[in-house]
Amino acid sequence: GAVVSQHPSRVICKSGTSVKIECRSLDFQATTMFWYRQFPKKSLMLMATSNEGSKATYEQGVEKDKFLINHASLTLSTLTVTSAHPEDSSFYICSASGGRGTDTQYFGPGTRLTVL
């Protein structure tokens, strides 16, 4: 099946610094990628949807200047958490879809971000 990777799997950073998380589709072209955030014992919350070559669409309540998403190629999307603070600590998960009209998303293993 389709494989999606994320890097890094874990990251610890100091408050005020920026962190970049990569999401790659390894064996298919992902025209659409999604970024989710998961809190302990909570469901995955969709943060934003990005289509290759265009600006991401953010969900209500998600700060687009804080969570920068780039989807510059059909196999790579990045999420940058800018000026991170402890409340940004969470599990971030990406998913990728092979094309419009398909509703199957392939998920990455997630990235655990801890901000000190």
Give contact residues for another protein (rule: CB under 8 A): 1, 4, 6, 32, 34, 41-44, 46, 49, 93, 95, 97, 102-110
Which C-beta is closer to another protein: that of 14 or that of 41?
Answer: 41
Q: Collect all residues with Cβ–Cβ distance below 8 Å to 20 and sequence separation of at least 6.
A: 78, 79, 80
DSSP β-bridge partners for residue 23:
6, 77
CA 58 – CA 47 distance, rounded (Å): 6
Shortest gap between Cβ of 16 and another protein (angstroms)? 30
Which C-beta is closer to another protein: that of 78 or that of 97?
Answer: 97
Shortest gap between Cβ of 67 and another protein (angstroms)? 17
Q: Name the residue among 47, 85, 52 with its Cα closest to residue 63.
A: 47
Which C-beta is closer to another protein: that of 15 or that of 102?
Answer: 102
